[in-house]
Structure 1
């Protein structure tokens, strides 16, 4: 294992005064910033698509279990919006611009927007999207390694919630007929 030596205080102070316009992106940032920004904007698009799909499903949930499942869809939608906000904030922190353009949203999203006709189909489509998000976030975390620990921590936090969503949706499927 390679031992890392600490940077002396004088050097830290000198480096901090250079490139002030870069904000949080210091000389010690070792990730490919343009690639990280692209990746985060794709994650942002995925979260927004999930917000929209969950919202539709919240309003369209029908049947004996429609009210309770629809309420769960609303909770997930709100949490996905929180993820989108966190990702947008990180993009800005890294000196980028969050891409909220509706024209390219679905093309940039890893998950698809599938309406689903029945409650079972809605749950299944949301579960598929969560499983895609889980693997996408794992890939991003592995890609970052130790090059961008702040983004990695953020993605790990989001990943944990996506895994909870997937478990909750799988449980909902178990409780419904025709699965």
Structure 2
């Protein structure tokens, strides 16, 4: 495209399309993503976040040992942040015309991360770090897939990714100390 080219927009056409498909909500005719695939990916991300919430909550309540109190408190913070991610993802699924899948049956098969039961603090930190690393790579792949086809979902996932990277960094630091 020529940098000096004049930008024009057909506002009348935009208005016509908006009125024609008014019941499609946020999904307009210029949406370039494969909405079914995006909803499927988001439901997998939702399941992943919910599994992480459950694992962090468990670890918050059962962590023991001399260093456990501040780490257990941070597990609770991470659980809350993962729940916020789940809420954002569920909202986006609805915006795209889908239904968020909160059904516990099959949640582990939809989740990208595992739910591994451990009882030592170091193992809890390690399992949470593994789950964060899985989430990081999963979100990066989803972001690459979306590209410019769905910038709203991509930006949401980029924001979630940044928090997951913070979690992984923090967990990694804890392993280095212990």
Q: Name stretches of at least 5 consecutive residues in structure 2 with no aligned partner.
A: none
Count the aligned residue pairs.
Answer: 176
Which residue of 2 is the match for residue 172 of structure 1? 174
Which residue of 2 is the match for residue 154 of structure 1? 156
1:25 aligns with 2:36: no
Q: For each residue in 1:119-166, what CA deviation from the matched residue of structure 2 results, as whole angstroms up to 9, or x when unmatched?
A: 000000000000000000000000001000000000000000000000
Structure 1 residue 21: deviation in Å? Answer: 1.3
Choose from 67, 81, 84 the match for 1:82.
84
Structure 1 residue 83: deviation in Å? Answer: 0.1
User: Under a length normalisation based on structure 1, what TM-score does the superposition of the two structures give?
Assistant: 0.95
Q: Work out the CA distance in 2 between the residues paired with 1:164 and 1:149.
A: 23
Bigger mean CA deviation after superposition, 10-19 or 44-53 = 10-19
Which residue of 2 is the match for residue 34 of structure 1? 36
Which residue of 1 is the match for residue 9 of structure 2? 7
Structure 1 residue 8: deviation in Å? Answer: 0.6
Q: For each residue in 1:80-102, what CA deviation from the matched residue of structure 2 results, as whole angstroms up to 9, or x when unmatched?
A: 00000000000000010000000
Q: Work out the CA distance in 2 between the residues paired with 1:2 and 1:61.
A: 60
